[in-house]
Amino acid sequence: MGFTVAEKIIKAHLIDGQMETGSEIAIKIDQTLTQDATGTMAYLQFESMGLDRVQTELSVSYVDHNTLQEDWKNMDDHRYLQSVAARYGIWFSRPGNGICHQVHLERFGLPGKTLLGSDSHTPTGGGLGMLAIGAGGLDVAVAMGGGAFHLIMPKIVGVHLTGRLKGSTSAKDIILELLRRETVKGGVGTIYEYFGEGVASLSVTQRATICNMGAELGATTSLFPSDEITKQFLDMRSRGNQWLPLQADPDAQYARIIEINLDTLQPMIAQPHSPDNVIDVASITGIPVDQVVIGSCTNSSLEDLAAVASIVKGKVIDPRVSAGITPGSRTTLLAAEKAGILGELIRAGFRILESACGPCIGMGFAPKSGGISLRTFNRNFEGRSGTADARVYLCSPETAAAAALTGQITNPNQFTIDHTNLDTYLLAGIELADDGMLIPPVAIEEAKKITIERGPNIKPCPSPEPIPDSIQLPVLLKTGDNISTDDIMPAGAKVLPLRSNIPEISKFVFTRLDPDFWKRAKEVGSCIIVGGNNYGQGSSREHAALAPMYLGVKAVLVKSYARIHKANLVNYGILPLIFIDPEDYHKIDQNDQLELAHLHSLLETGSSSFEIFNKTKNLIIRVKLDVDDRSRRILRAGGLVPYTRSGGN
Ligand code: F3S
Cis omega before residue 273 (within 30°)?
yes
Question: Would the pLDDT of 452 be above 90?
Answer: yes
User: For the segment 232-287, what is each residue's pLDDT rounded down to a tens digit?
Assistant: 999 999 999 999 999 999 999 999 999 999 999 999 999 999 999 999 999 999 99
Q: What's 268-426's CATH class?
A: alpha beta
Asked whether 59 and 143 are in contact (CB, 8 A), the reply is no
- 481 CA distance to ligand 1 middle (Å): 23
Q: What is the side-by-side strand order in the sheet with 149-152?
A: 14-16, 24-27, 149-152
Cα angle 17, 637, 484; round to 5: 80
Q: Is 427 exposed, middle or buried (0-12, 13-18, 19+ CB in 10 A)?
A: exposed
Tell me what pLDDT residue 421 has: 65
Mutate to test the pocket of ligand 1, among 60, 64, 394, 495 (most ligand atoms within 8 A of CB): 64
Identify the pLDDT of residue 511.
92
Per mean pLDDT, which range of 215-224, 262-271, 426-435 is the poorest? Answer: 426-435
- 300 Cβ inside 6 Å of ligand 1: no
Q: What is the mean pLDDT of residues 447-468?
A: 89
Residue type, 480: G
Q: How confident is the model at residue 62 (pLDDT cuts 50, 70, 90)?
A: very high
Complex ipTM more than 0.95, yes or no: yes
Predicted confidence band at 428 (pLDDT cuts at 50, 70, 90)? low
Q: Residue 497's pLDDT is what? A: 86
- Report DSSP letters for 336-377, one per residue: HHHTTHHHHHHHHT-EE--SSSGGGGTSS-PPPTT-EEEESS
Q: Over 90: is that where the pLDDT of 360 sits?
A: yes
At the topology level, CATH places domain 471-492+499-645 in Aconitase; domain 4 (3.20.19)
Is residue 649's pLDDT more than 80?
no
CATH number of 6-261: 3.30.499.10
CA 371 centroid distance within chain: 26
Helix axes 341-348, 330-338, angle to 10 degrees: 90
- Reported as a pLDDT band with limits 50, 70 and 90, residue 647 is confident
Rounded CA-CA distance 60/113 in Å is: 15
Residue 420 has pLDDT above 80, yes or no: no
Is the backbone of residue 89 left (phi > 0), alpha (psi -120 to 50) or beta? left
pLDDT at 21 over 90: yes
Residue 151's DSSP bridge partners are 25
CB of 296 closer than 6 angstroms to any ligand 1 atom: yes
The reported pLDDT for the residue numbered 431 is: 81
Is the distance from the beta carbon of residue 357 to the nearest atom of ligand 1 less than 6 Å? yes
CA of 294 to the centre of ligand 1 (A): 12
CA 592 to ligand 1 center in whole angstroms: 38
pLDDT at res. 49: 83
What single-letter DSSP state applies at residue 450? P
Going 380 to 128 to 64 to 170, the CA torsion angle's sign is negative
d(CA 112, ligand 1 centre) in Å: 24
Residue ID of nearest Cα to ligand 1 atom 2: 360
- Are 6-261 and 268-426 in the same CATH fold? yes
CB contact at 8 A, 560 and 505: no
Residues classed as catalytic: 64-65, 119, 379, 539, 541
Domains in the chain: boundaries: 6-261, 268-426, 471-492+499-645
> Is the model's pLDDT at 425 over the cut of 80?
no
φ and ψ of 198, to 5 deg: -65, -25
pLDDT tens-digit series, residues 301-358: 999 999 999 999 999 999 999 999 999 999 999 999 998 999 999 999 999 999 999 9
Region 39-53: mean pLDDT is 90
Give me the mean pLDDT over the 160-185 stretch: 97
Q: Is the pLDDT of residue 427 over 70?
A: no
Residues 183-211 have pLDDT tens digits of: 998 999 999 999 999 999 999 999 999 99
pLDDT of residue 466: 86
